[in-house]
A and B are shown apart, each in its own frame.
Chain A
Amino acid sequence: MDRFGEVLSVVLGALALAYLIYEIDRRKRKLSDLFHVLGSEEADISAELVGMVESGELQPYTRGARA
């Protein structure tokens, strides 16, 4: 009976730990998706935006203005 209790405690502890790790990982993934760092993979996206600015297609926002 004692042994069964020990095993049960270990299993429950492992489950709790696993859930904790899963929850932390899930929140980190959510934050990473929310605040997405731009690197070489997004070079084409950023280059296009920069190109639009340099060509004059995009102008800085002023009240009443919109690209």
Chain B
Amino acid sequence: MPKTAPGSGPSRRPRAGVPRKPVVPPKTEDSVGPPDTRDEVTAAVPPLVEEPPKTESASQEATLIEEGTVIELPARVRKASRPRKYKPSGTPRFRIFIIDSGWNSVARRVLRHNFALIRRLHRDDPIYLLSRKKSTEFIRRHRSLIGRDPIIAVHDSAAMGWRGTAGFHGFHLHLGIQRTPRQALLALQTFARFLATHRLSANLEADIRTELRREGVQGAVEILLHKVPRVIGA
């Protein structure tokens, strides 16, 4: 390897009189931090060693200063990251069941793609996912559900605790009747929003009939005024 002439370019070897760079400890998970903070620390801590003699040119001097600078990072004891623990905020109001026999439909694809988000949005409520086999057997016993799945069944624990399944006790979202991805996604979003905003509802049945099903004169007016996304009711 040819020797570089003195002063011809930035030298890679430490020059005489310039202390070597300190040995950088190997990176571990705890010590690796975001690059921005390291740069900030680097900028904030002034150099602690003597500067090299001012005999070279200005550009080389700047390079030398950079090379010869010893930066001592303050000792930081990084706390081990705690595993995320989500504590539900109280007694779950709803029990959610997802029944999907496996039709190759757009609704099924939309549900699969958005299931993780639905789960994150409704961590307070247990979600029971029936397997394809269990769903098929279940639907075979209740034939009125054929072709309506994927179905998201929501049981209202408050209503069921009061009168069981004899009266109102929840509702189904029959996602399978939606024919386009946009319809299915809008229905899913409406469903998720409704559940999240009506956790403390005193009369869930009334809320479902007015806000989701748009029953009554007011519902008719809202449909006329296009307050209901046209694509859901189409």
Name A residues whose Cβ lies closer than 8 Å to a Cβ of B.
20, 24, 26-28, 30-40, 42-50, 52-53, 57-61, 66-67
Bound-complex Cα distance A17 to B97 (A): 41
B174 at the interface (CB under 8 A from A): yes
Whether A61 lies near B174 (C-beta < 8 A) is: no
Which of the segments B57-65, B71-79, B127-135 contacts the partner chain? B127-135
Contacts of B145 in A (CB 8 A): 45
Task: State whether the Cβ of B13 lies closer than 8 Å to any Cβ in chain A.
Answer: no
Say whether A28 contacts B220, CB under 8 Å: yes
Whole-angstrom distance between the alpha carbons of A11 and B134 in the complex? 55
Select which of B134, B153, B191 is within 8 A of A67 by beta carbon. B134
Q: List 13 A-B contacts (CB under 8 A).
A: A20-B224, A27-B228, A30-B232, A35-B208, A36-B171, A36-B174, A37-B208, A38-B169, A43-B166, A46-B153, A46-B170, A66-B129, A67-B128
Given contacts A38-B168, A48-B141, A60-B126, whether A28 and B223 have CB atoms under 8 Å apart is yes
Q: B223 near A37 (CB under 8 angstroms)?
A: no
CB of B170 within 8 A of CB of A38, answer yes
CA distance A58 to B165 in the complex (A): 19
- 0/1 interface trace, chain B 82-101, chain A, CB 8 Å (1 if under): 00000000000001010000
In contact, A60 and B128 (Cβ under 8 angstroms): yes
